[in-house]
Structures are given as C-alpha cells and as structure tokens.
Amino acid sequence: MKGFLAKILLNTMSKRKRPDLKVPAPYMTEQEKILYNLIQSKQDLGIWSWDIKRETSLPDNVVDKSLKSLRSKLLIKEVVNVQFKGRKHYLASEFEPSSEITGGKWYNDQGFLETEFINFLKDQCLKHIRNLKIATVDTVANAVRRSRVLKIDCSSQEIGDIVRALVLDNDVIEMRSNGLGEFASVPTGRMCYKCRRSPDAMKEPRVGVMAWIPCGVCPRIARCMPGGTISPMTCEYYSKWLDF
Amino acid sequence: MSFRPSCDPLASSSSSNTWSPLVQRLEQEQEQRQRQQQPRGGGTMVPPSQYGIKYAVHIISSHFGDLVAKVCECLLRRGPLTHRNIVRFMEISASQVKNCLLVLIQQNCVQAFSVEHPGGDEDESRRSTEYMAVFDNIIHRMRFPKFVAVVSQELDKECVELFQGLLQHGRLTLEKMIDRAKSGQEDCPAQDATRETLSKLINARFVERCPDPEPHLSPPSEEEGRARKRTKFSKVAAEPQTIEERVLAAAAPMEAKRFLTIFHTTTEEDGQKTECSFPGVGEKRKCDALESDKELGSDGSQVLWRVNVQEFMHRFRHKACVENVRERLDGGAAVALNAMLETSRSMEKKVKTDNAGPLTINTIYEEVMKGEAGRAMTLDHLRASLVMLGCERGTDESYQIDLKNIIELAQNEEVESVVLKRYGREAYRIFRLLSKANRLIETDKISSTAFVDKTETSKILFRLWKDEFLHMEKVVVTGPRQTQFLLWKVNKSTLWPHVLDEMYHAALNLNLRVAYELEKENELLNLPIEKRSGPLEKRYNRLRTVRLLLESSLMKLDDAIMLFHDF
C-alpha cells in the first residue's frame, strides 16, 4: 500500500544521485577495489554475487567479506532483482536500479507486483473506454492524464500494457478499425478497444457448458472411472451438485 | 528511464533479442515435426479418442444391449474388419456376430464395403466384405430429441410421427412406412398421406436416401494416385482421405438421387418379398442363416430412407454461431447473421463451410424483415451490425462472413471458461495470452504481460502443462553462463482433441450418474403413486429434479461436443 500511495502522490525519483565530492572516499583493500570497480562498471544494471565471483576469480570467502565491508562503507547496496528475487544483486550506491531490475512502475521495492496500483489503473482505463465507446491506447492515455488522478506520468506504452491486460481479463475486446460505422473516427487498421459488457452485467465472463458441470472443473478427471477410487457414482463434487 | 518491453506479444523487446531467433527456429522445427507426424492419408476425419469410444459403446449398450455394444467396440478399436475376423476377435458365434451387425447396419451405425485383396503370384485377387463402425452416427443418437424438436417447429404432426419412426427403426422403405401408418388397416388414403408426409420431410432435407449398402473400394494406390494428380489449376495436391472418408464417400448416393422423391412401392399383389429383406416393423431382428455376406445388404429394388443428419448439423452450427454473436456482440448482430445464414444455407455443400456469402445488402435485408426481431431494423442499423460482425465488404455492397472464425471464438471461450474455473483468474489471463499469441513465449514475458508474479507464473504454467493444456519447450543458451529458458504455447491441434475427450468423459459420467440415481431409487420408482407420500414423495421429487438436471446438462454438454467435433 505504501508503494502504491507513493506512485499516486510522489514524483519519480532520478536514476542516479551525484556523488558528494567533498566527502573523501573511504579506504578500500585491493580486493575491495577490484570488486567495487566491477560493480560500478555495471552502472544501473548491477551484478549478481555469483557473477562477481566468476568474473573476479577471487575465493568465495574473500568476495563475501569484501562485499560486506563495501556495504558497511555505504559504497554499494543490495537490491532486489524482480526476475530473481532470491539472488543477491549489488549496485554502486550512486546508481538507482534500472526498470530491468526493479520491474518498473509495476513492482515495489521488495520485487513484488503492485497489484493494487495495477488494479486501480485498470479500473480507470475501463471507465474511460466505456465513456469513449470505441477507444485507442492514445485516447485512453490522454483521458487518464486529463483526469489528473495520477501524479506520476504514465506513458502511452504503459497505458497500453494495462489496456492489453484488460483484454486478457476479457473485460475489453480489441479489434482493428475498418473506418466504417462506429469506427469512423479511428483510422483504418488502427487497433481499438471496446467494453465487452455493460456496467450492470456480471463481472465474470459467461460460464461455458463444460465449466458448469462437476467434471468440467474437476482436476482429477483423468483418474475418474466407474469402479475406481474416483468415479461418477462416488464423486463428492457430484454429491454436492445434486444436494437438493 | 528505460521501460519494460511492450505487452504486445508480437513486439520484440531488447531483453529477448538474444533468443528470439532461437524461438523462431524452434517454431519452424516444431511445425516441420508436426507435418511429418501427420498420419499418411491425413484427411479431415480424426479417429475417435479413448473416451469417445467408451461413450459410443455406452450409447449402443443402453440402446441395443451388451452383445451389440461389444461388436461395435471391436470395430471402433480395431477399425474395419471382415465378419470372420470379428468372430475371431470376439470369440462368439458367427450367427451372433451377424445379428449384431444387422442391428448396427439397420441403425446406420455400421457401413459395409467390399475391397479387393491382391493375390500372390499364382492366386487371383479376391474380394471380401468389411464392416466399419460410423462413430459420428453413434454419437448422433443422443441428439434425436433435438432433431425431433426441429422437425416439430417446421412441419406438422404427421411428419413428426413419421420422422420418429425413422429414428426408431434407423431406415425404412416407403412400404414399411405405409404399413406402420396403416397399422393393419386396408386404407388407400394412408398410402397417399404417407407418401405426401415423406415428400415433405425429403423436401425439407430432413430425410435422405440411404447410402449404398456395400460400395466397392478400389485399391488404395489407384485412388491415391487420382487424388494426388496435379492439374494446371491446382498448386497443391489434394490430401488423400482416410479409409473411413473413402468408404462414406463411395457409399453416398449421388446428390441428384439423394433427395429424389420418386417412390416405388411393391404391394403384396405386385411383388414378392425376398427371403432376406430387412426385418419388418415390430418384428424381431433375426435373419435366416445364409453363407454369403450379401444377406447383410439391403434389397436393391426397394429404396431405403433414413434421417439426413447433415441437415441438422447445418442448422445447429448456424444456431451456435448466432447465439455466440448474440452473447458476444448484441441482438442486432445476431439478427443480421441469422439472416445471412438462412439465405445461404441452401448453397452450403458441407457442414463445415468457412464462409457465408457473399450476399448483397438488399438480399440480407429482405431476409431480416421476415423475422419479428428484424422488422424494426433499419438499413443503416443492419449496415452497422454487419460492420460489427466484421463482415468483408465487396464493391457492390455485398457482405461475407467468416463462420470458421466465429466457431473458433466459441471454442476458445469454452476452453477458457474451463481454465478459469479449474485454475483461477491468473491462469485464465496467462492462457488467453498464449492462446491469442499462438506462438512460443518465454516465462518472464508471460509474467510481465499478464501482470502475474513470476513465481506464481511458473507454478501456473507447470500445472497447465501437466494437465496437457500447454505445450512446453526448453531452450538452452550457451555463453559465459549456460542459461535455460522455458517457452510455452497453446497448441490447439493437440489441446482441442484433449478437451473433446474430456467432454466425452463428462458425458459418459453424466449418463452413468443418471443410471446410478435411478438404480438407487428403483424400489421407489416401482411404487404406485398413491403410496408415495410424505418422505417418499420428497425423495421422488428430489429424484425427478436430479434426473432433470443431469439430462438437461447432458443435452447442453452435447452442444459443446458438437462445437468441437462437428462444427
């Protein structure tokens, strides 16, 4: 929630802080210098501890001790790599991690998805698509900006990510404009979006026939057979379904 | 600030540049492997799946008993067999096998055909009769109430009655139909009335002439050569057919004869009944034992009629398309589509027609105005609906619609619904992403595009893969560090048959549960009504509700089976 509110209320932070030139650099051993130079060379992408060991060919215990020392001297910092949360990833202190590492707007500092923020943006985009009837990514992005509901700027590409997620949720249909009828205002060939159902309609998509019966949702159907441990005659799902 | 790659699956990202050529290569290799693995003589008819066969056998068993079901199962599992081989595999007497085959042929569930077997150096070639189970016709037996409903809506009570007779008996001559209508009365009007009723059914295409009882199949090499012959107009040779397709094509009457309403009847005064005619109405199904296999064919002098299933499949396919469009778009689009389909139905040569049209706007509008729902529709509203349907528009304001696309959308919705209910919303998003992309996508890309946490994405993907909803490939990239990537794809060519098999399994389960519930309350069902009071009446009402729910679910599930198998 903290991260979500920060995205709504605060400006984005800069990529790199300027090093304070008045403070003298702390003393480093030779091994620490090798490690620090390597980490600094990776800039905002940083480097995994395993890669540090491989590239420097220093013994593991030396690397671990040096990294601990550099951290205590505030020359490097450990960050969460959203793609590999379990790995120790290091950056020089003067750099901010790139979105490749952090996951960009969609991830918090701990490397987890900002689900609430994403859902909030989805609701906003859906509302604007419903108002526009037929919308493109650009018209939705403009509508979101004009509404001033966000203090941070979301690019058209990021809004596009959200709109395409709405397509995956089946809340919105995507189709190419043919320039006719309701698509008259959209150039031919441009991808546009339309709400799938009215606001009063049920949130969930229509339930298919197979999904409506117990066998359709059963994860054990492959093992079900007459006379078996799982069978239509003894099935619990069936019993609940037929419990009148 | 650099951004993560676009969620458009078709957009390449900077982070995936190192392996996207590898992915493309993998896809090409996979497609090549799939083409090589296709059975020789691919054709379009897919052999029945495991539960398809079990379901078919269950239907035959319920309708005709276990012995007939076992013969049917033997043919379904082993393919076409001679009478002698069936006896050998079944280990029952020849006469029992013959009687079972008679029943199955009478009910259009088995088709006989003759083949030439080339002899050795000194032997002449010999001809034998083989019997082939017609899987589709067995499954159609569950749809008989739907067929009757269609006929009831369009024709009169007499037509429905005659039609029900054809369903019950499988195939009848006009003479047998008249006998049935007369019920023992010497009545001339009954003959004319029956002829007229049959004509109505034939003209509506609900009834057709039966196929040739024993067509001859040329040796495969000759027919394949003809099929593969390149003409100057074709760029690609025609695909050779499966044996089932060849037999059914050889047996089918010519289109000109199929619905020809010229009736010949033999009365007791004019003709003589052959020794081995088909069993009369209401008689036991036994034949005198004869050595030749010819007794299992029909008497050539009398035309046999049967239900034309293809007409009903056409109508059900159209109905499924209209209902899908109504739910997905709106009522106006459904009316427009319905009008196009009604107009073009007579022009469709096969059930699985890809397109409807092209039809001019005026032709469509004329048809729209015939229906109550369309009378309030203006021409502009119709145009807007046709645009919404995604119709292709020609220069003379003619419109054509891609029916295959509508069917595919309906199939996608059905499978996605199962994924949502079985695996949850995040799995639903992931599945839809892969289904739309129709190509291999790497785990991280799926996670970022579908907005699902990476750890959770991997778990979901493995579950879907384990349950055969997804195809997975590993790519190992060698370099400073060896990295393994997992790529995922929805492979509809394997997934759709898997889903269909599960549907057959579910249909079989519904049938078995109905039988179980009725068996459980057998004593209650045998009680007279006046003794069913208090708790017994409550149990009886519960049983009635349960049966209604199970049987109506079976009918709805059958619609889904048609969507995947017949449409």
Q: Taking Cα atoms as reference points, which of B93, B83, B133, B88 lies closest to residue B296?
A: B83
**CA nearest to A107 within chain B:** B453
Which tokens go with B79? 């393919």
Q: Are strands B398-402 and B441-442 parallel, antiparallel or unpaired?
A: unpaired
At B313 the pLDDT is 94
Q: Taking Cα atoms as reference points, which of B196, B140, B144 lies closest to residue B166?
A: B144
ipTM over 0.90: no
State pLDDT tens for residues B325-370.
988 888 888 999 999 998 888 777 777 888 887 888 888 898 898 8
Contact status of B6 with chain A (Cβ, < 8 Å):
yes
At B219 the pLDDT is 72
Look at B450 and A226 and tell me if their CB atoms are within 8 Å: no
Contact status of A207 with chain B (Cβ, < 8 Å):
yes
Question: Are A172 and A129 a contacting pair, CB within 8 Å?
Answer: yes
Sorted by sequence, the CB contacts under 8 Å of residue A136 that are 6+ apart come out as A186, A190, A191, A192, A193
Which tokens go with B442? 């790497």
Tell me B102's DSSP state: H
Q: Are strands B392-393 and B441-442 parallel, antiparallel or unpaired?
A: unpaired
At B263 the pLDDT is 66
In B91-173, where does DSSP find H-type helix?
A: 94-106, 135-140, 144-154, 157-169
Percent of chain B with pLDDT over 90: 50
Nearest CA-CA distance, residue A27 and chain B, Å: 32
Q: Are strands B216-217 and B110-117 parallel, antiparallel or unpaired?
A: parallel
At B515 the pLDDT is 93
Contact status of B1 with chain A (Cβ, < 8 Å):
yes
State pLDDT tens for residues B289-337.
333 344 444 444 488 999 999 999 999 999 999 999 988 888 888 999 9
Contact status of A113 with chain B (Cβ, < 8 Å):
yes
Look at B1 and A12 and tell me if their CB atoms are within 8 Å: yes
Look at B387 and A85 and tell me if their CB atoms are within 8 Å: no
Nearest CA-CA distance, residue B551 and chain A, Å: 12
In angstroms, the CA B146 to CA B311 distance is: 12
DSSP secondary structure letters along B529-565: GGG--THHHHHHHHHHHHHHHHHHHHHHHHHHHHHHH
Question: Are B134 and B88 a contacting pair, CB within 8 Å?
Answer: no
At B271 the pLDDT is 43
* Dihedral class, residue B41 (left if φ above 0, else alpha if ψ from -120 to 50, else beta): left
Local confidence band at A111 (pLDDT 50, 70, 90 cut-offs): confident
Look at B451 and A113 and tell me if their CB atoms are within 8 Å: yes
pLDDT at B546 over 70: yes
Of residues A168 and A80, the one with the higher pLDDT is A168
Sorted by sequence, the CB contacts under 8 Å of residue B260 that are 6+ apart come out as B209
At B1 the pLDDT is 32
pLDDT at B286 over 50: no
At B36 the pLDDT is 44
pLDDT at B230 over 70: no
Local confidence band at B527 (pLDDT 50, 70, 90 cut-offs): confident
At A217 the pLDDT is 87
Look at B499 and A210 and tell me if their CB atoms are within 8 Å: yes
Nearest CB to B383; choose among A181, A213, A244: A181
In angstroms, the CA A181 to CA B563 distance is: 31
Nearest CB to B4; choose among A99, A182, A206: A99
- Give the best residue of A215, A236, A237 to mutate against chain B (max B CB count within 10 A): A215
At B545 the pLDDT is 93
Three-state secondary structure of A12-53: CCCCECCCCCCCCCCCCCHHHHHHHHHHHHCHHHCEEHHHHH
Contacts of B451 in chain A (CB under 8 A): 106, 113, 118, 165
Look at B560 and A217 and tell me if their CB atoms are within 8 Å: no
- Cα A96–Cα A100–Cα A105 angle in degrees, nearest 5: 75
Contacts of A172 in chain B (CB under 8 A): none
Of residues A68 and B280, the one with the higher pLDDT is A68
Local confidence band at A166 (pLDDT 50, 70, 90 cut-offs): very high
Contact status of B433 with chain A (Cβ, < 8 Å):
yes
Q: Taking Cα atoms as reference points, which of A159, A3, A221 lies closest to residue B418?
A: A221
Contact status of A23 with chain B (Cβ, < 8 Å):
no
At B58 the pLDDT is 96
Look at B506 and A221 and tell me if their CB atoms are within 8 Å: yes
Which tokens go with B233? 């107009």
Matching residue, tokens 């290569």: B25
Look at B7 and A180 and tell me if their CB atoms are within 8 Å: no
Minimum mean pLDDT among B7-21, B92-106, B507-521: which range? Answer: B7-21
Look at A210 and B4 and tell me if their CB atoms are within 8 Å: no
What is the strand order of the sheet B81-82 is part of?
B81-82, B126-133, B110-117, B216-217
Nearest CA-CA distance, residue B294 and chain A, Å: 40
Of residues A125 and B22, the one with the higher pLDDT is A125
State pLDDT tens for residues B173-212.
998 888 888 765 555 567 888 899 999 999 999 999 999 9
Nearest CA-CA distance, residue B451 and chain A, Å: 7
Question: Are A243 and A235 a contacting pair, CB within 8 Å?
Answer: no
**CA nearest to B509 within chain A:** A232
Look at B467 and A242 and tell me if their CB atoms are within 8 Å: no
Of residues B11 and A133, the one with the higher pLDDT is A133
Tell me B269's DSSP state: T
State pLDDT tens for residues A129-141.
999 989 999 999 9
At A81 the pLDDT is 84
At B493 the pLDDT is 93
In angstroms, the CA B282 to CA A70 distance is: 97
Integer-rounded Cα radius of gyration of chain B:
28
In angstroms, the CA B11 to CA B437 distance is: 11
Local confidence band at B391 (pLDDT 50, 70, 90 cut-offs): confident
Minimum mean pLDDT among A37-51, B124-138, B255-269, B474-488: which range? Answer: B255-269
Look at B513 and A232 and tell me if their CB atoms are within 8 Å: yes
- Give the best residue of A48, A112, A161 to mutate against chain B (max B CB count within 10 A): A161
At B50 the pLDDT is 94
Contact status of A242 with chain B (Cβ, < 8 Å):
yes
* CA B349 from centre of chain: 16
Which of the listed ranges A172-186, B287-301, B405-419 does the model predict with the highest average pLDDT? B405-419
The average confidence (pLDDT) of chain A is 83
Look at A232 and B455 and tell me if their CB atoms are within 8 Å: no
pLDDT at B288 over 50: no
Contacts of A226 in chain B (CB under 8 A): 512
pLDDT at B111 over 50: yes
pLDDT at B382 over 60: yes
Residues within 8 A of A (CB atoms), B 363-392 only: 383-384, 387-388, 390
Look at A238 and B513 and tell me if their CB atoms are within 8 Å: yes
Contact status of A211 with chain B (Cβ, < 8 Å):
yes
In the chain, the amino acid numbered B361 is I
Across the A:B interface, residue pairs with CB atoms under 8 Å apart total: 162
In angstroms, the CA B509 to CA B557 distance is: 12
At B209 the pLDDT is 94
Contact status of B274 with chain A (Cβ, < 8 Å):
no
Local confidence band at B422 (pLDDT 50, 70, 90 cut-offs): very high
Residues within 8 A of B (CB atoms), A 127-166 only: 155, 157-158, 160-161, 164-165
Local confidence band at B41 (pLDDT 50, 70, 90 cut-offs): very low
Contact status of A224 with chain B (Cβ, < 8 Å):
yes
**CA nearest to A108 within chain B:** B453
In angstroms, the CA A191 to CA A136 distance is: 7
The mean per-residue pLDDT over the stretch B539-563 comes to 93
Q: Provide the 10 A C-beta neighbour count for residue A178.
A: 16
At A201 the pLDDT is 55
Per DSSP, what are the bridge partners of residue B209?
B305
Nearest CA-CA distance, residue A142 and chain B, Å: 18
Nearest CA-CA distance, residue B166 and chain A, Å: 30
Contact status of A100 with chain B (Cβ, < 8 Å):
yes
Contacts of B323 in chain A (CB under 8 A): none
Look at B560 and A168 and tell me if their CB atoms are within 8 Å: no
Nearest CB to A104; choose among B3, B418, B513: B3
Contacts of A167 in chain B (CB under 8 A): 432
The HSE-up count of residue B31 (CA atoms within 13 Å, CB side) is 8
Look at B506 and A82 and tell me if their CB atoms are within 8 Å: no
